[in-house]
Amino acid sequence: MQKIQFNDIPKYTNLTFQLIYQKKIKRNTRTSVLREYNNEKWQEIINKFQNKSFISLEDIIFSEIKKNEKKLFYKKDEGFIFATNEYIVKSHIDLYQSTLEKYTNNASGLVELGAGFGAKLIDLSRRDSFKNIDLYAGELTDSGQYLINYFSNKLNIKINTQFYDFRSSTVRNFKIPTNCVIFTSYALCYVPMLRKKIIRNIINLKPKAIVFFEPCYEHHDQETVHGLYCRKYIEVNDYIKNLHSIINEFINEGLVNVKINKNVIGSNPFLPISVIEIQPNYN
């Protein structure tokens, strides 16, 4: 692990140059997300593992990246760090564990929405805090759902996997018990302009708590170069821009209690996630 000064970032990543010269904005639609993940990224993982008789937890966690390869990432309290993917992944999951375990006592389950191919949920399931809690995954892509079931079967982990679309899923077509702990991780960011209805639909699932581990455009100020780079990265990739505003609407209506820790960590130094802990008021 090596700390890096901000001015030295271009020595470790091409992202600064890409942001300076990139003019075309990538558009995130349901169709583009399905093409990128269902047809391309997750299908590549299926092809990689379909003929393997044995698959380990480590195989799953590092299915897209090399465990010992080093890259630049960001931690709020430490700045920019050059470290192995193993260290970066562990730093993220440690944060997820320490946050989510505050709410899982007497909860009916742990639910990840936008679960991808299940790596984070599977990683958490092997930790002591979550070994005795029911697990649920909601995922948009068919290939992602297939991989969650495939990997969980290989590791003998029970995960209830269902189709979930942030834009349309409700209590009528996504079934989990009340009093679950729900979380998302780099998933809501693919909905560029969040509608209030999307968060309301999650609250209508009657969870004990909701935790968003998501990039938040509005949490980046325009008074620092890093903040400007982060805003630009979100803009050119068409990621979510109004999560904070929508959450504030629910706060102002007295519907939720919220705790926010801004820009905590990012495997991409220009896309750190904020931790947004939400407890609905059902009175």
Is residue 208 within 8 A of residue 121, CB to CB? The reply is: no
The structure tokens 């990265």 sit at 233
Give this prediction's pTM: 0.95
Is residue 258 within 8 A of residue 243, CB to CB? The reply is: no
Q: Compute the average pLDDT of residues 11-15.
A: 90
- Predicted local distance difference test score (pLDDT) of residue 36: 87
- Predicted local distance difference test score (pLDDT) of residue 193: 86
- Predicted local distance difference test score (pLDDT) of residue 33: 85
Confidence of residue 32 (pLDDT cuts 50, 70, 90): confident
Residue of 268, 233, 260, 226 whose CA lies nearest to 244: 260
Q: Compute the average pLDDT of residues 168-192.
A: 94
- Token reading at 140: 């948009």
Show me where the domains of the chain are located.
2-280
Is residue 61 within 8 A of residue 125, CB to CB? The reply is: no
According to the CATH classification, is domain 2-280 in 3.30.930.10? no
- Cα–Cα distance for residue pair 120/118, rounded to 1 Å: 6
Q: Compute the average pLDDT of residues 104-129.
A: 95
Between 12-21, 239-248, 255-264, 274-283, the lowest mean confidence (pLDDT) is in 12-21
- Predicted local distance difference test score (pLDDT) of residue 34: 86
- Predicted local distance difference test score (pLDDT) of residue 24: 66
User: Cα angle at 130 between 124 and 136, to 5 degrees?
Assistant: 75
- Predicted local distance difference test score (pLDDT) of residue 174: 96
User: Cα angle at 114 between 29 and 248, to 5 degrees?
Assistant: 80
Q: 167 pLDDT exceeds 80?
A: yes
- Predicted local distance difference test score (pLDDT) of residue 187: 95
Q: Is 260 exposed, middle or buried (0-12, 13-18, 19+ CB in 10 A)?
A: middle
Is residue 22 within 8 A of residue 236, CB to CB? The reply is: yes
Residue of 185, 187, 166 whose CA lies nearest to 265: 185
In percent, how much of the chain has pLDDT > 70?
99
